[in-house]
Amino acid sequence: MARDGISGPEAFPAALEAFGSDPLIVCHNDADGLSAGVILKKALERSDRSPRIRIVGKGENAYSAEFQAELQRMRFGGLILADVGTSSVLRTSVPAIVVDHHVPTGLPAGATTISGVDDDPIPTSSLLAFRCARACGDADDLLWLAAIGIIGDMADDDGFAEFEEAKAKGGITALRKAVSLVNAPRRTASGDASAAFALLEKAEGPKAVLSGEHAETEALLAAKAEVNLELDAARKVGPKVFGDVAVIRFASPCQIHPLVAQAWRGRLKDKIVIAANAGYRPGWVHFAARTAMDRDLIAFFAEHRPPGATEQYGNGHRAASGGALEFADWNRFIRSVGFGAELEILGLQAA
């Protein structure tokens, strides 16, 4: 049973009735968020609405003061937040819907929150978006997009009937290759995922994503090549270990820290693996944490939360979390975990 304040996808059509003709969809820039955004955009267009899209970009957080101020300056006839987390920080005077699968940090007042966080297994945001679209009418042609998001966030999972159907229709190999392409732009130094969104919106299935019939595929291939070069260099960095925590620290303008953390997770099965990137954004350390142990990473980061941590710290999932800290707070965090100067950012230590 869902907790108070959280609804299932069946609540989507009724919540949508309060929307005007020009709503705004805000979505994350990974495969799950982009797929959710495309699904929701098509669902709204089929209800005779003309949604605009705002993709959360490099270093941005939908619940930061800056992003919320941007929303306040805009005019739109309804707001959907997809795959950007769920927070009570949201303030809007228009009807709002949150479609998300992350552990909520709070529930937004006056918004319809659609989440599967109490389900087992927990559906991705794209799968929730597909179920929302299906609640509004025929959405079978959007099923492959939900599969893109599932693979992007979970590698693959046979716990969802929709995923089995999508594999049978689109082929698991084509789906996996499409996910790899779609995820590439947001990992580049620019972090611009607009070409990936456009390709998902144009394509009729995963094979069309790969075919090259759309110009965006070439842009995604170039993005993948850029990311692979940076990833090859980062993979040569060894971990520093203290207790049950392993940290791999490097500097890259690309968002490769989740990939590095996932790679080491399989080799360090008895550790919390943290891949820390000091070159992604000036003045900040962006990090991704993964673990194969039965450890709650949300609780781990809460225990070691430094005083300057913002909404960009310690969110995500029980076994896949991460965040961003300014250099001084990174130094506080790493000392709290048990490490010393070997992992601090030289010249910018905390007082």
Helix/strand/coil (H, E, C) string of the chain? CCCCCEECHHHHHHHHCCCCCCCEEEECCCHHHHHHHHHHHHHHHCCCCCCEEEECCCCCCCCCHHHHHHHHHCCCCCEEEECCCCCCCCCCCCCEEEEECCCCCCCCCCEEEEECCCCCCCCCHHHHHHHHHHHHCCCHHHHHHHHHHHHHHHCCCCCCHHHHHHHHHHCHHHHHHHHHHHHHHHHCCCCCCHHHHHHHHHCCCHHHHHHCCCCHHHHHHHHHHHHHHHHHHHCCCCCEEECCEEEEEECCCCCCHHHHHHHHHCCCCCCEEEEEECCCCCCEEEEEEEECCCCCHHHHHHHCCCCCCCCCEEEECCCEEEEEEEHHHHHHHHHHHCCCHHHCCCCCCCC
pLDDT of res. 241: 97
Secondary structure in 3-state letters for 82-104: ECCCCCCCCCCCCCEEEEECCCC
* Amino acid in the structure at residue 127: L
- Asked if the model's pLDDT at residue 347 lies above 90, the reply is no
Instruction: Look up residue 79 and give its two tokens.
Output: 């707001």
Question: Which band of pLDDT confidence, cut at 50, 70 and 90, is reported for residue 220?
Answer: very high
Residue pLDDT, tens place only, 301-334:
999 999 999 888 998 888 899 999 999 999 999 9
pLDDT score of 178: 95
Contact 31/151 with Cβ under 8 angstroms?
yes
pLDDT of residue 1: 47
Mean pLDDT of 22-38: 97
pLDDT level of residue 59 (50, 70, 90 thresholds) = confident
Q: Give the integer Cα–Cα distance in Å for 336 and 331.
A: 9
Percent of the chain whose pLDDT exceeds 70: 97
The pairing of strands 111-115 and 240-242 is: unpaired
Question: Is residue 338 left, alpha or beta, with left meaning phi > 0 and alpha meaning psi from -120 to 50?
Answer: left
Residue 246 has pLDDT above 60, yes or no: yes
Q: With contact defined as beta carbons under 8 Å apart, do 80 and 24 qualify?
A: yes
What CA–CA distance (Å, rounded) separates 282 from 93?
34
Measure CA of the first residue to CA of the last residue in the chain; give whole Å: 47
User: What is the per-residue pLDDT across 70-84, written as a single tens digit (0 to 9) for each?
Assistant: 999 999 999 999 999
**Res 168: pLDDT:** 81
Q: What percent of the chain has pLDDT over 90?
A: 82
**Torsions phi, psi for 194 (to 5 deg):** -65, -35
Place 148 in a pLDDT band, splitting at 50, 70 and 90: very high
Given a contact cutoff of 8 angstroms between Cβ atoms, the answer to whether 131 and 9 are in contact is yes
Q: Which amino acid is at 221?
A: L
Query: Is there a contact between 254 and 230 (Cβ–Cβ < 8 Å)?
Result: yes
What is the mean pLDDT of the segment spanning 147-176? 83
Mean pLDDT throughout 160-176?
86
Average pLDDT score over the chain: 92
For residue 349, name the pLDDT band (cuts at 50, 70, 90).
Answer: very low
Give pLDDT, residue 351: 32
Strand partners, 101: none
**Helices 161-170 and 172-187, axial angle in degrees (round to 10):** 100
Per-residue pLDDT at 199 exceeds 80: yes
